[in-house]
Amino acid sequence: MKNLSVSQRTALERFASSVETSPHNLVSRRARAELRTRHVPESVAFARWMPPGPARVLDLGSGGGFPGLVVALVRPDLQVELLDSTSKKTAFLREMAADLQLSVTVHTGRAEDLAKGDLGAAFDAVTARAVASLDRLVGLAVPFLRPGGALYAIKGERWAEEIEAATPVLRRVGARVAATPDESSMGPGDSQVPRVVSIVRT
């Protein structure tokens, strides 16, 4: 995690410690064990990769704050908002954002419901990590995007299969795949760089 300021490093350490010691199940046991070796570094790499702001960004299914809270910390040029359906998780995210003095808005509710209100078609970008398979995620995320806005989905090794399965949904919601992990400029060969599928609302 090179080129981070001292204050950013301190904040990331405080955040990781808070996730580890939280009495709530913010992340899985395995994820908790890999916070500093995988999840924080991957989220930092993802945040740096995201296009320059200003932009309004929604992190869908924020959970324990990956990658959304890290993006807010590393990229002050982005207006980051976090969404999760579980109140104990959004309570933690609000507390953490206040503790780290981040200007972050946190929403509690189901994506399907919130997209029908003021948040619908309101964002330049939506981020998502370990939320759902791509065919389901597209249906959840695209309604939040303005035309031309992009979904940045962090996916696993089977991303190509997920894209194929999501093709009918992409047609239905009016979106297209703009970039795949093998086309990414995030720095191939870096184990801390996540695989990102970029999808644009047309």
CB 154 within 8 A of CB 179: no
Residue 59: predicted pLDDT: 98
**Maximum CA pair distance of the chain?**
46
* Arithmetic mean of pLDDT, 156-165: 94
Two structure tokens written together for 4: 């981070």
Alpha helices in the chain (DSSP H): 6-21, 29-33, 40-49, 68-74, 87-99, 111-114, 134-141, 159-173
* Cβ burial, residue 148 (10 Å; 0-12/13-18/19+): exposed
| CATH code matching the domain that covers 6-201, chosen among 3.40.1440.10, 3.40.50.150, 3.60.20.10, 3.40.50.720 | 3.40.50.150
How sure is the predictor about 130, in pLDDT bands with cuts at 50, 70 and 90? Answer: confident
Residue 115: predicted pLDDT: 98
Share of the chain above pLDDT 90, in %: 80
Phi then psi for 42, rounded to 5 degrees?
A: -65, -40
Residue 188: predicted pLDDT: 43
Residue 187: predicted pLDDT: 47
Q: Is the pLDDT of residue 40 over 80?
A: yes
Of 49 and 189, more confident: 49
Residue 24: predicted pLDDT: 82
Tell me the C-alpha distance between 118 and 87, whole Å.
20
Of 36 and 76, more confident: 76
* Arithmetic mean of pLDDT, 138-164: 96
Residue 32: predicted pLDDT: 75
Identity of residue 38: R
pLDDT tens for each residue of 1-13: 678 999 999 999 9
Q: Is the pLDDT of residue 57 over 50?
A: yes
Residue 22: predicted pLDDT: 86
How sure is the predictor about 33, in pLDDT bands with cuts at 50, 70 and 90? Answer: confident
Residue 35: predicted pLDDT: 82
How sure is the predictor about 192, in pLDDT bands with cuts at 50, 70 and 90? Answer: low
* Arithmetic mean of pLDDT, 21-26: 83
Domain ranges for the chain: 6-201
Q: Is the pLDDT of residue 191 over 70?
A: no
Residue 184: predicted pLDDT: 57
CB 170 within 8 A of CB 147: no
